[in-house]
Structure 1
Amino acid sequence: MADPDFWVLLGTDYCGKSSVLAALADRGGRVRPTSYDPPMLTGDYRALAQLPAALGKAYAGGNSPDYVMALLNVAVAYLRDSVLTAPPESTPLLDSYYYKILVKCRLLGLTDGPWQEYWQSLPRPSGVVLLDVAPATAWRRSGAGALCNPMEYYGPAPDVESFTRFQRDLRAGLLDAVRGLRVEHVPAGQDIAATTDHVLRAMKE
């Protein structure tokens, strides 16, 4: 069976994915933005609104890697189900899919258990749109670390050096994770409307 038609919106932390997905949701149309960001959850899936906070606490609290990755798999399963249940006339655009989760697990040493092999067995997207952002811009958007969760930097507390190094490693890991897929790059420095237009052009929508 052929893989379903869907795309992935990818980028490092604070690259603007949430803003672009929200803008696409406001516009309507064939593209179906999908994220586990709380404002985008509907129906029974609203129960996932606490997932990002729970993940940060689980990782920072020293819980087992299996437990942390099991929570991460809830997010991946939601995105997978969104693809499989999407109306045929729509094109789902997933927030990161499993790629960002997979790379963060590797960077943070969460490598035990069956989860990574399972994630890499999931359907391949039709393409990936990669949003770029300068690390200095991302640091500013993070409130100089005030908004960071523990899975966005190296070490016990965020500072500009630990954040920047993590984000650069994350970008390199993302590019490696999507090697062999069609990847469309959206450069940094555009406003939300222009970035959203660029994403749609990349998807040929």
Structure 2
Amino acid sequence: MPEPCPAFCVLLGPDYAGKSSAMSLLQGAESPWRTVSVDDDYLAPEHALLTQLRRNVVQEVAGRAGAWSPDFLATMLQTAVVHLRDQLGDDPATPAVVDSYYYKFLAKCRLAGAHDSVLLSWWRSFPQPRRVVYLDVAPDSAWRRSGEGADLNCLEYYGDHPTWDGFSRYQTDLAKTMHDEIAHLPVTVIEAQERPEQTAAAIRKVLANEFG
């Protein structure tokens, strides 16, 4: 039998859409939901391995073009995907907000060439959220937030090094691929806001409606 799963929503968006800032404002003792993410701030000490794996995936797998197959990249990213699924089952009584869930990982695997991996089909069989809250951001705004490419990693642009053209094309394709993956779900799009507090307030309204 499948593990029990709480009501949950997914916070999704392109790179530099502001998800991390929003997630930090959504968590807290007074929140009626819990936040689930593989970012360092959300990992328990016993899960610190994920931090090391994520760093190695970017530097040693995705960062070494031709050294590893797209399927191998998907295999490595699966550690994060399965952890997110497992964390959902840890407290089935409490609603959850999940950072990207498997959708962004899957989209990046597809862009890397892992179109037919059986792992991607397995991820799609995982429990589905009540709603996806999609944080939209224009590529030029995201480029500025990245320090005009200074803060990018190799899973955020096309090419051997960061350029505006490689970044904008990648982010456009990433957004389209993520939208393809969530087309069967209710989606609320939140346009880019001036301040993270405004984004978090807009997200809270959506979550309040979903979780009651």
TM-score, normalised relative to structure 2 = 0.90
For residue 62 of structure 2, the aligned residue among 55, 59, 78 is 59
For residue 193 of structure 2, the aligned residue among 170, 176, 189 is 189
Helix, strand or coil at the partner of 1:118: helix
The letter for the 2-side match of 1:197 is A
For residues 147 and 74 of structure 1, the distance between their equivalents in structure 2, rounded to whole angstroms, comes to: 24
1:112 deviates by 4.6
Q: Which moved more, 1:1-10 or 1:129-138?
A: 1-10
Q: Percent identity?
A: 38
Kindly report which structure 2 residues correspond to 1:1-205, keeping only aligned pairs within 5 A, or say none: 4-26=6-28, 28-57=30-59, 58-61=61-64, 62-88=67-93, 90-204=94-208
Structure 1: 4+ residue segments shifted above 3 A = 1-4
Asked if structure 2 preserves the Cα contact closer than 8 Å seen for 1:65 and 1:112, the reply is no
Paired residue total: 204
1:12 deviates by 0.2
Asked if structure 2 preserves the Cα contact closer than 8 Å seen for 1:4 and 1:123, the reply is no
Gaps of 5+ in 2: none
For residues 28 and 70 of structure 1, the distance between their equivalents in structure 2, rounded to whole angstroms, comes to: 37
Q: Which moved more, 1:36-45 or 1:1-10?
A: 1-10
Helix, strand or coil at the partner of 2:96: strand
Q: Aligned-pair RMSD on alpha carbons? A: 1.7
Asked if structure 1 preserves the Cα contact closer than 8 Å seen for 2:5 and 2:92, the reply is no
Asked if structure 2 preserves the Cα contact closer than 8 Å seen for 1:7 and 1:93, the reply is yes
User: Alpha carbons of 1:98 and 1:134: their partners in 2 closer, same or farther (altered >3 Å)?
Assistant: same
For residues 175 and 138 of structure 2, the distance between their equivalents in structure 1, rounded to whole angstroms, comes to: 11
